């Protein structure tokens, strides 16, 4: 059913301004069940309008106003009242409203907002379960739809934001990937999650949707779609990344010695990268000064893209300025804001501007930032974005069109070693490595023993691991991260050290040094996230790492 909500009454009154005689149409199907447009709601609306001086010349509740021919017959039974009306107020979904607008030669006003296609849990309780995407993946996810029920529509595994089975956007929402994992594990079917889910073909759900069965039956349609899929798959049946660009193999396009970061990692040198957050505005002076202050201590500088979904200068521009200043950047690109058309253009543009290191990520959900009302894109997930970059490196765009010059990138991903969904995170990590990631940057780690356990579990992954480290500034900061940032867990022992320290800054640097020193024996590098402490970077690295 289509779930609707009532528009604010004042908004309805404003839409009816200048129209005194009103006819009200309700819906006896979905809107009735949603308690927005049945007999009771139509009667209540008539009373409220009369109290505001409107004359309600008639009311009518259709069996289902989205059915055009049936609604046309129903409206003929109330034609006399309709003729008296200045306008029609419709308490139905958008489809029903448009049906009435097509059938009645008068102004038609919506009284409801349409929300989603829902399952009815019980009367008055609805959950969105289907996005009408045209390509169902339920066979691989235990009958639970990640396209609809994941806030980011991720189909190749979870993001790093889930904690205790809850989605990062809050409001008590369950992480759908926790539900998928639990169900498949119970059934002994976790191997289904190993399959790479291809980029969706939105042409099948192109808007406005039309299905005309006068030209072909449903059976004929399914045979045509199946034959097209089998023809594409037969081109290279053992290739796991789907139907397009099947001939581009990772090993044929993987670069050699492309960047200083790659040379260092391939040369078994312990690397250090440092995070740089772009400014919220166009004054880049401080950001460039921060980058210059750490230049001699790091192999590369990672530039965030709208971290925590807070709008800032884009990563691409700042990375280009770093290139001009002789500093090697790592370009962060997220799928949150762009579809695959824009992502391809952004990657090509990055290469033209001299950028070679790229980290592909999904990005924090927009509801966590300072533009909560924006529409997220999430056309691809991070695994698919890596694969898309490989296709570009092979000289092809997404649809197998030849490029006039192919880019070359050293590709990386991110991983959360302390995730509550660690097994799923590792499955997704393996997918990322197969899709093209040569290195991974982790979420901030503070427990070296747990980090070592994680590394033991991913020894088979053919990629370098760079451990994230956020220097602690206070015990309060540590507790805040534990409470609010999924995947970060500062042990109580470190918090006590910060509480007891006379000089919090000195102690925070000492803890960071301990972590860097410990990581030297565990992984291939560290990624410092100084959060303004760029002047502390030399102190953290002194005597431990030399670049």
Q: Which residues contact 45 (CB under 8 A, 6 or more apart)?
A: 24, 89, 91, 111
Instruction: Report the predicted TM-score, pTM, of the whole model to 2 decimal places.
Output: 0.86
Choose among 199, 191, 77, 208: nearest CA to 141.
191
CB atoms within 10 A of CB 518: 18
Both tokens of 477, joined, read 């900061």
Both tokens of 253, joined, read 């396009």
Question: Residue 415 is inside which H or E element, if any?
Answer: strand 410-415
pLDDT at residue 435 in the model: 93
Cis peptide before 413 (omega within 30 of 0): no
**From start to end of 309-389, where are the E strands?**
329-334, 357-361
Interatomic CA distance for residues 271 and 535, integer angstroms: 19
Give the CATH class of 269-540. Answer: alpha beta
Structural domain spans, the chain: 2-118, 269-540
Q: C-alpha distances in angstroms, 57 versus 19, 51, 304, 490?
A: 12, 14, 60, 67
CB atoms within 10 A of CB 273: 28
Interatomic CA distance for residues 35 and 64, integer angstroms: 14
Phi and psi dihedrals of 131, rounded to 5? Answer: -105, 5
Q: C-alpha distances in angstroms, 425 versus 386, 416, 442, 504, 519?
A: 16, 7, 11, 34, 21
Q: Which residues contact 430 (CB under 8 A, 6 or more apart)?
A: 194, 458, 460, 461
The sign one gets for the Cα dihedral 199, 201, 205, 208 is positive
pLDDT at residue 237 in the model: 56
Interatomic CA distance for residues 116 and 200, integer angstroms: 20
| Secondary structure class of 211 (helix, strand, coil) | coil
Question: Residues 98, 104, 105, CA angle at the centre, nearest 5°?
Answer: 115
Residue pLDDT tens, the chain, 547 long: 899 999 999 999 999 999 999 999 999 999 999 999 999 999 999 999 999 999 999 999 999 999 999 999 999 999 999 999 999 999 999 999 989 999 999 999 999 998 888 877 777 788 888 888 878 888 889 988 999 899 999 999 999 888 888 898 877 889 999 999 998 999 899 998 998 888 887 877 777 777 788 888 888 888 887 787 676 666 555 567 765 555 688 889 999 999 999 999 999 999 999 999 999 999 999 999 999 999 999 999 999 999 988 999 999 999 999 999 999 999 999 999 999 999 999 999 999 999 999 999 999 888 888 998 998 899 999 999 999 999 999 999 988 899 999 999 999 999 999 998 999 999 999 999 999 999 999 999 999 999 999 999 999 999 999 999 999 999 999 999 998 888 899 999 999 999 999 999 999 999 999 999 999 999 999 999 999 999 999 999 999 987 5
pLDDT at residue 242 in the model: 65
**From start to end of 268-356, where are the E strands?**
271-276, 300-303, 329-334
Both tokens of 285, joined, read 């002076």
pLDDT at residue 510 in the model: 96
Choose among 414, 381, 424, 389: nearest CA to 529.
414
pLDDT at residue 233 in the model: 63
Phi and psi dihedrals of 134, rounded to 5? Answer: 90, -5
Choose among 68, 82, 78: nearest CA to 21.
82
Give the CATH class of 2-118. Answer: alpha beta
* Residues composing the chain: 547
């Amino acid at each position: 059913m289509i779930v609707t909500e009532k528009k604010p009454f004042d908004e309805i009154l404003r839409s009816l301004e200048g129209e005194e005689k009103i006819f009200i149409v309700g819906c006896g199907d979905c809107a009735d069940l949603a308690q927005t447009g049945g007999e009771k709601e139509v009667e209540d609306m008539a009373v409220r309008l009369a109290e505001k001086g409107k004359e309600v010349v008639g009311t009518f509740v259709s069996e289902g106003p989205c059915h055009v021919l049936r609604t046309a017959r129903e409206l003929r039974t109330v034609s006399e009242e309709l003729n008296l009306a200045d306008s029609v107020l419709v308490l139905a979904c958008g489809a029903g409203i448009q049906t009435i607008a097509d059938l009645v030669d008068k102004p038609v006003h919506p009284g409801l907002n349409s929300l989603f296609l829902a399952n009815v849990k019980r009367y008055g309780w609805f959950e969105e379960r289907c996005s009408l995407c045209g390509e169902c993946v339920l066979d691989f996810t235990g009958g639970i739809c990640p396209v609809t029920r994941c806030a980011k529509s991720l189909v190749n595994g979870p993001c790093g934001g889930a904690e205790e089975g809850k989605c990062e956007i809050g409001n008590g929402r369950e992480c759908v990937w926790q539900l998928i994992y639990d169900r498949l594990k119970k059934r002994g079917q976790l191997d289904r999650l190993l399959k790479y889910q291809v980029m969706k073909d939105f042409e099948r759900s192109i808007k406005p949707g039309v299905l005309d069965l006068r030209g072909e039956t449903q059976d004929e349609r399914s045979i045509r779609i199946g034959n097209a899929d089998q023809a594409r798959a037969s081109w290279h049946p053992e290739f796991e990344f789907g139907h397009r660009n099947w001939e581009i193999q990772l090993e044929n396009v993987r670069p050699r010695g492309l960047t200083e970061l790659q040379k260092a990692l391939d040369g078994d040198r312990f690397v250090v990268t440092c995070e740089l957050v772009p400014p919220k505005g166009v004054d880049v002076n401080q950001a460039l000064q921060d980058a210059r202050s750490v230049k001699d201590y790091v192999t590369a500088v990672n530039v965030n893209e709208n971290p925590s979904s807070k709008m800032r200068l884009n990563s691409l521009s700042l990375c280009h300025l770093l290139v001009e200043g002789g500093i090697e950047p790592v370009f962060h690109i997220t799928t949150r804001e762009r579809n695959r058309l824009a992502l391809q253009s952004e990657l090509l543009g990055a290469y033209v501007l001299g950028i070679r290191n790229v980290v592909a990520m999904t990005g924090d959900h927009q509801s966590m930032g300072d533009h909560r009302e924006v529409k997220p894109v999430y056309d691809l997930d991070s695994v698919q974005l890596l694969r898309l970059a490989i296709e570009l490196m092979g000289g092809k765009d997404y649809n197998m069109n030849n490029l006039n010059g192919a880019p070359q990138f050293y590709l990386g991903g991110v991983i959360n070693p302390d995730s509550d969904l660690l097994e799923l995170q590792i499955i997704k990590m393996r997918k990322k490595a197969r899709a093209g990631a040569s290195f991974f940057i982790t979420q901030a780690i503070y427990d070296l023993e747990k980090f070592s356990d994680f590394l033991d579990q991913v020894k088979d992954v053919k990629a370098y691991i760079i451990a994230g480290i956020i220097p602690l500034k206070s015990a309060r900061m540590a507790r805040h991260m534990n409470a609010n940032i999924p995947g970060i867990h500062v042990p109580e022992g470190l918090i006590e050290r910060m509480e007891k320290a006379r000089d919090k800054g000195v102690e925070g640097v000492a803890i960071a040094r301990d972590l860097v020193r410990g990581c030297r024996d565990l992984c291939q590098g560290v990624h410092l996230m100084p959060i303004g402490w760029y002047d502390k970077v030399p102190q953290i690295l002194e005597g431990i790492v030399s670049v």
